[in-house]
Structure 1
Amino acid sequence: MGIIVQKFGGTSVADADKILAAARKAIRTQQQGHQVVMVVSAMGKNTDVLVDLAGQLTSKPPAREMDMLLSTGEQVSVALMAMAINELGSKAVSLTGGQIGIKTDSSHTKARIQSISTERLRKHLDDGHIVIAAGFQGIDEDFNITTLGRGGSDTTAVALAAVLQADACEIYTDVDGVFTTDPRIVAEARKMDRVSHDEILELASMGAGVMHSRSIEFGKKFGVPIHVCNSASFSDEPGTVIDLLPESIDRPVSGVALTKNEAWISLANVPDQPGTMDTLFSKLGGVNVAVDMIVQNVGKGGKAEVSFTVLESDLPATLNAVNDVANELGDIEITSEANVSKVSIVGLGMATQTGVADRMFRAFADEGINILAITTSQIKVSALVRREQAMQALRAVHSEFQLDKPPKDRVSFGDKSAAVQPPSPIDVVARLQRMEDLTIDDIQLDESQGRITVSHVPDTPGIAAEIFEAVAAENIMVDMIVQGTGRDGMANISFTVPKESVSAATEVVRPVAANLECGPVTHDKQIAILSVFGIGIRTHTGVGVRMFQALSRTGINVEMVSSSEMRVNVVVSADRGQAGLKALQAAFDDVIG
């Protein structure tokens, strides 16, 4: 038997009875032969109470003192949990983050873990103790207490499981597991038996809400199986396992997510030349705005349109930064809209199956839902819609892919044949130095694809469905899809297919475009797609900046952009592909895993 890490959230330790129930669960696990580490959050609404107290004293509390204050919530919980376990006849010891040896940077209220010492933990475990670890906290190099920000206890739990090379990390929460979508919105949402790290990373940051993406990043980086369980019953059923494999190999879509409060910013008349994207995203990085969907379509007449989404709460700061860019670059037209939402489908299966995006677009069209923008990655398709239609869009897509029904080809829990294996113990130890730093897994150049562009697409429902149904009918695999909002009720849709399919796809799309009164349809068989893959691309906001800066310094113009949580794609001219690859490899040399 090995080590099991069990994390109990605030609702799971909200009162004495719940603390005793969690203590019994840990003791049963130890009696089964495992060594047990418990990670405990602050009781119930304790953190909210402390934040309110600080607010009664000052409107701008120092970040260092907020960390000092908020860390006390977990210290109360771990002490009470240790008392409960001792009272039940077992041995326990409570430890703060600093006592464990969780070292972080000095970014108070949002610190990142740099290393974790295991010596003290292993000594207590070997002495027969259940170790009760305070979640959400650590210390910096000057021994100041730091906190990890939103989802910090989940992050602590998975990080401890990684450094201890635990058999599993069990997350006890107030839900049954991970659902195909938010069950509060879609009554037919189904709990999944399992889901891959990659899929939940895409879902977690797009509104799935079960676990914070930083904890899932740890799970993927270090190959940690994560069991999401309901704390109400503390049964031995795993709920949902987040691991290397999806629930189904054949099913193209595993889940649907909604990001409700998005805002959309579009810049027209942007110079279609090297350095433009660098200028824009360097300015956004300077105000620490996390950009979500990024859409840049093919330019015309030396001008391009760049659009992107941010959280609605970040819109004022974003517009200030964008206005500075407009002053720097010249005659740029800026438009923005706050009343939009993003609906996304996610699934490992769509990377190898045709006809997925068109089903999503048809589901929208049948409901009269207009798509404002589209962006894709290997395992995700995202569409921007009006906020008043977002719930309807989510339900339509969930129904289209029959996600209420379990897949017929469920992957067994012992099957690792189709998965990427976790890192070896030696690799884990090496990667634990500055363990939460950005890790770039790969940088790739794809010269095997061509691009088709449909111009002057009317801003009406059903257009995308018609176009991609025609392509899917010919069994042509589509990779990138980019659609911006356009101006004057018109937009462009561009997509990439294998080079050998460019002519066929163009011939299929032309009559469809003519019938829809849009076009012309153009194509380019000579493009290069540069992709940066990594863990933490979204949570480390400087990735796009570094990427665009490297291409700008090399004099390479970015023709198209598409992004996701784990991948940023850019299209450049075919003759600059190799130079772009070298520039990106040099730019990310210090973080390539």
Structure 2
Amino acid sequence: MLRPCSDSRPVAGGRRRGASRGVDGSSTLSLLVQKFGGTSVADSDKILAAARRAIQAHQRGDQVLVVVSARGHTTDELVALAREITDRPPAREMDMLLSTGEQVSVALMAMAIERLGVPAISFTGAQIGLTTDSYHTKARIRNISTDRMKSALDDGKIVIVAGFQGVDENYNITTLGRGGSDTTAVALAAVLGAAACEIYTDVDGVYTTDPRIVPEARKIDRISYDEMLELASLGAGVMHSRSIEFAKKYGVPIHVRSSFSDAPGTWIVAADDARRLGVAVTGAALAKDEARITMVAVPDRPGVVHTIFHTIAKANIVVDMIVQNVSVKGAAEISFTVAKADLPDVLTAAEAAAKAVGASTVMHDSDVAKVSVVGLGMRTHTGVATTMFEALAKEGINIQMITTSEIKISVLVDRAKAAAALRAVHKAYLLDEVHAEVHAPFVPSSAANRAMKLVPLADDGATDTRPRGMEDLVIAGVDLDETQAGVSLFGVPDEPGYAAKVFRAIADAGVFVDMIVQNVSLEGNTDLSFTVPRESADRAAAAVEPLARGRIAIEPALAKLAVSGVGMRTHTGVATAMFGALAERSINIKLINTSEVRINVGADIASGQIALECLRRVFAVNGD
């Protein structure tokens, strides 16, 4: 549960403009949180323009709270100044230095609003009681006191809060890391029960892809939290994952808008409000700076996967794609990707893990990129993966890895061809075409409190059920699907277009595919595995048999286990906890694929119920 330090509690969802009900049942004014990024307050004219926006909302009858970032390139300049003094500045002192940028902004914004005739007051993170843990330069919010802000709002003032910063329990100044001001704004909207959180930036919303790479990209009118989480992690830089996690956890509608226009932007909302009938894919994204690590000849026995990723998690490295195919002759290959900047550290951890489990080799490739498509409609549309693979084949682009989730398909390609791959898939899904409006204008409305139960993880991956803060990991569900079968193709040719042919044949056979896992070995060996409804396994195998270059194997009954939640990417150790729980019960993992909101594994059907029970116990999720 969300635990502010005062008597305020979060209200999931928004409230309509005008009168609303406070937590004590009394009538209160609607609250609007507005956040202005660095480009929106870069000079005095822009600060005054932002002040006028806040005043307009105030004059409509809203209470208004403004969160601001440091002006322009102030943070970069402060970092450069520190580097002139030392190459390794202490993290605590960097927080002391960087927090000054927002303090300048809030004071100037308050002056601007006062000059325009409306009372205002500015606060630092410490002054509003925004408390964090003690991880300097990347702190997480624990609690926020609302008393001082509510008092100022009730006095008719516009409240301005410094984004990006807080204090730990010892009153040391901390900063929240990249995207910190967005996180501050959404957290304040959550704890104060705001109708919405408006994010003003130098773009006019969220686009179907990066318009700098694909000029034909279009603005999206509405997108779900899960879709935005996937896109944010894939390089869509409009908002950061942590702020979207906050919004999803506490039901805060977010409106991403241009600072320089009054045009509607993009609403980031719950799935039911964002769903598009007849549309499978909402957007595409490119993560350019990826590195791939492959562990060869990994022993296929319970506990091995846990040992590998526990070792990596201890190095505090965020792993992205994880792919494990079915084993051959008692050994498997496991590949995963990380940010290219983390490669030196992850190689050290991977070598140690390989030695511990008896894997033969650790190989890596630092010249890869990930291209993904995301959409709620994937859950109900067939042939979505086929469209992507055929688009890449047409451009002669080879696929090195494939991983899928319920709303995302990701492929790993050569970095030199990444931009061409993004353009190809964007066009293939008709994302460059203008469609008729599918939504009425979104209006935030009141909703029941849907705050989730927090299930924080201890640093070692063990479960710790004590609530420790607003940003703790939320595990929403642990599920078992016993209706699927697995099909594996061995000795797959490493050439452009092969995956497209395979999944076109399956689509033509009328078979719906769920998980897809492909791992092209850096040694040239390639296997392709996928799951289908159990009754369709023979039909799927028959469809691909003419294309097979090697053995085809069918697992007629497979247990698919899934852990889903909020914070899966930004909290290391989730996969480790899952793999460790299965290892304790001697349950072997046959397939793995991952996304921002879900980790899926395949196991023996006989182990399904046992695995479900142990995962629900570890993550403290009941089966209701």
Contact 2:502-2:544 at 8 Å conserved across structures: yes
C-alpha spacing 1:415/1:116, structure 2 compared with 1 (3 Å): closer
CA distance in 2, matches of 1:305, 1:159: 41
Determine the C-alpha separation between the residues in 1 that align with 2:497 and 2:267. 37
Q: 1:48 to 1:488 in 2, by over 3 A?
A: closer
Moved over 6 A (4+): 428-433, 590-593
The code of the aligned residue for 1:525 comes to: P
Name whichever of 426-435 and 131-140 sits farther off: 426-435
* Mapped contact 2:363–2:522 kept (Cα < 8 A): no
Q: Which residue of 2 aligns with 1:110?
A: 138
Q: Which residue of 1 aligns with 2:13?
A: none
**Aligned 1:188-267 pairs, distance under 5 A:** 188-233=216-261, 235=262, 237-244=263-270, 245-246=273-274, 248-267=276-295
Note if contact 1:250-1:409 (Cα within 8 Å) is conserved in structure 2.
no
Q: Distance in 2 between matches of 1:500 and 1:38?
A: 56
Give the distance between the partners of 1:503 and 1:334, measured in 2 at CA: 36
Equivalent in the alignment of 1:34: 62
Distance in 2 of aligned mates of 1:369 and 1:425: 47
Aligned partners of 2:575 and 2:453: how far apart in 1?
Answer: 28
Residues 1:192 and 1:592: Cα distance change in structure 2 (over 3 Å): farther
Q: Secondary structure in 2 aligned to 1:458?
A: coil
Tell me whether 1:522 sits opposite 2:553 in the alignment.
yes
Worse overlay, 431-440 or 218-227: 431-440
User: How many Å separate the matches in 1 of 2:516 and 2:143?
Assistant: 40
Contact kept in structure 1, 2:478 and 2:621, CA below 8 Å = no
After superposition, what is the alpha-carbon deviation per residue over 1:529-550, rounded to whole angstroms, capped at 9, x for unaligned? 1100011101001111111111
The match for 2:525 is: 490
For 1:590 and 1:77, locate their aligned partners in 2 and report how far apart those are by CA, in whole Å: 43
**Letter in structure 1 aligned against 2:126:** G
Which position in structure 2 is the counterpart of 1:581?
612
Q: Does the 8 Å CA contact 2:454/2:472 hold for their aligned counterparts?
A: no
Letter aligned with residue 526 of structure 1: A
In 2, Cα distance between equivalents of 1:480 and 1:76: 50
| Mapped contact 1:249–1:409 kept (Cα < 8 A) | no
8 Å contact kept, 1:266–1:305? yes
Residue 445 of structure 1 aligns with which residue?
480
Q: CA deviation at 1:24?
A: 0.7
Per mean C-alpha deviation after superposition, the further-off stretch among 46-55 and 437-446 is: 46-55
Q: 1:4 aligns with which of 32, 37, 52?
A: 32
Q: In 1, are the aligned partners of 2:308 and 2:357 still within 8 Å (CA)?
A: no
Report the alpha carbon displacement of residue 246 of structure 1 after superposing the two structures with TM: 2.7
The secondary structure found in structure 2 opposite 1:208 is: coil
Residues of 2 paired with 1:428 and 1:319: CA distance?
36
Query: Counterpart of 2:575 in 1: which secondary structure?
Result: helix
Matches of 2:352 and 2:393, distance apart in 1: 38
Amino acid paired to 1:251: V
Once the two structures are superposed, the pairs formed by residues 60-99 of structure 1 within 5 Å of their partners are 60-99=88-127
Instruction: Confirm or deny that 1:342 pairs with 2:366.
Output: no
1:429–1:586: structure 2 CA closer, same or farther, 3 Å change rule? closer
Is the CA contact (8 Å cut-off) linking 1:230 and 1:239 kept in structure 2? yes
CA contact (8 A) 1:137 1:147 kept: yes
Q: What is the CA–CA distance in structure 2 between the aligned matches of 1:489 and 1:403, rounded to whole Å? A: 34
Shift of residue 337, structure 1, vs aligned partner = 0.8
**Conserved? CA contact 1:75–1:96, under 8 Å:** yes
Kindly indicate whether residue 419 of structure 2 is the aligned counterpart of residue 425 of structure 1. Answer: no
CA drift of 1:429 comes to 11
Answering whether residue 537 of structure 2 is matched by residue 509 of structure 1, we say no
Change (3 A) 1:491 1:477: same
Match of 2:14 in 1: none
Output the amino acid matched with 2:576: V
Change (3 A) 1:294 1:132: same
Tell me the residue number matched to 2:596: 565
Deviation per residue, 1:321-358 (Å, 9 max, x gap): 11112222225122211111110000000011100000
Tell me, in whole angstroms, the C-alpha distance in 2 between the residues paired with 1:168 and 1:217. Answer: 15
Residue 78 of structure 2 corresponds to 50
Question: Which region of structure 1 is more displaced relative to structure 2, 30-39 or 583-592?
Answer: 583-592
Alignment TM-score, normalising by the size of structure 1:
0.95
Give the corresponding residue for 2:440. 412
Match of 1:309 in 2: 337
Greater shift, 432-441 or 347-356, is seen at 432-441
User: What SS is found at the alignment partner of 1:204?
Assistant: helix
The answer for the alignment partner of 1:454 in structure 2 is: 489
Q: Relative to structure 1, is the Cα distance of residues 242 and 165 closer, same or farther in structure 2, using a 3 angstrom cutoff?
A: same
> How far has the Cα of 1:423 moved from its partner?
6.8
- Pick the aligned partner of 1:18 from 35, 46, 49: 46
Superposition deviation, residue 85 in structure 1? 0.6
- 3-state DSSP class of the match of 1:195? strand
Tell me the amino acid that sits aligned with residue 16 of structure 1: S
**TM-score for both structures, normalised by structure 2:** 0.91
2:27 counterpart residue number: none
Name the CA distance, whole Å, in 2 between partners of 1:332 and 1:591.
40
How far apart, in 1, do the equivalents of 2:582 and 2:349 lie? Answer: 22
Letter in 2 for 1:357: A
One-letter amino acid of the structure 1 residue matched with residue 567 of structure 2: G
Q: Mean Cα displacement is larger for which, 154-163 or 240-249?
A: 240-249
Gaps of 5+ in 1: none
State the SS of the aligned residue for 2:214.
coil
Deviations 1:380-404 (A, max 9, x none): 0000111111111100000001101
Shift in Å at residue 427 of structure 1?
Answer: 3.9
1:548 matched to 2:579? The reply is: yes
For 2:512, the equivalent position in structure 1 comes to 477
Q: Distance in 2 between matches of 1:279 and 1:13?
A: 48
- Name the amino acid aligned to 2:577: R
CA distance in 1, matches of 2:450, 2:554: 48
CA–CA distance in structure 2, aligned partners of residues 487 and 550 of structure 1: 30
Asked whether the 8 Å contact 2:390–2:500 carries over to 1, the reply is yes
Number of residue pairs matched by the alignment? 583
Letter of the aligned partner of 1:240 in structure 2? T
Write the deviation string for residues 129-157 of structure 1: whole angstroms up to 9, x where unpaired: 00001000111111211110000000000
Answer whether contact 1:247 1:411 (CA < 8 A) is retained: no
The answer on whether the counterparts of 2:478 and 2:562 sit within 8 Å (CA) in structure 1 is yes
- C-alpha displacement at 1:408, in angstroms? 3.9
Q: 1:506 to 1:430 in 2, by over 3 A?
A: closer
Partner residue in 2 for 1:149: 177
Q: Is the 8 A contact 2:406 2:514 kept in 1?
A: yes
CA displacement at 1:527 relative to structure 2: 1.0
Quick one: distance in 2 between partners of 1:223 and 1:576?
36
Distance 1:549 1:529 in 2: 17
Q: Which amino acid is the alignment partner of residue 574 of structure 2?
A: V
Q: CA deviation at 1:218?
A: 0.8
The one-letter code of the counterpart of 1:58 is: T
- Which residue of the other structure, out of 303, 306, 312, is the alignment partner of 1:275? 303
Deviation of 1:570 (Å): 0.6
State the 1:501 CA deviation: 1.1
Report the alpha carbon displacement of residue 584 of structure 1 after superposing the two structures with TM.
1.2
Task: In structure 2, give the amino acid aligned to 1:204.
Answer: A
Does residue 357 of structure 1 match 2:375? no
Q: Conserved in 2, the CA contact under 8 Å of 1:228 and 1:241?
A: yes
Q: CA RMSD in A?
A: 1.9
Does the Cα contact within 8 Å between 2:477 and 2:565 map onto a contact in 1?
Answer: yes
Paired position in structure 1 for 2:564: 533
Q: Please tell me the residue identity of whatever aligns with 1:491.
A: T
User: 1: distance between equivalents of 2:213 and 2:452?
Assistant: 39
Unaligned runs of 5+ in 2: 1-17, 19-29, 456-466
String of CA shifts for 1:262-305, please: whole Å, max 9, x gaps: 11111111000011111110111111111111000000111111
Read off the aligned partner of 1:11 and give its amino acid letter.
T
Q: How much does 1:474 deviate?
A: 2.4
| Secondary structure in 1 matching 2:211 | coil
SS of 2:369 mapped into structure 1: strand
1:457 is paired with a residue whose SS is coil
Tell me how far apart the structure 2 counterparts of residues 564 and 285 of structure 1 sit (CA, whole Å).
17
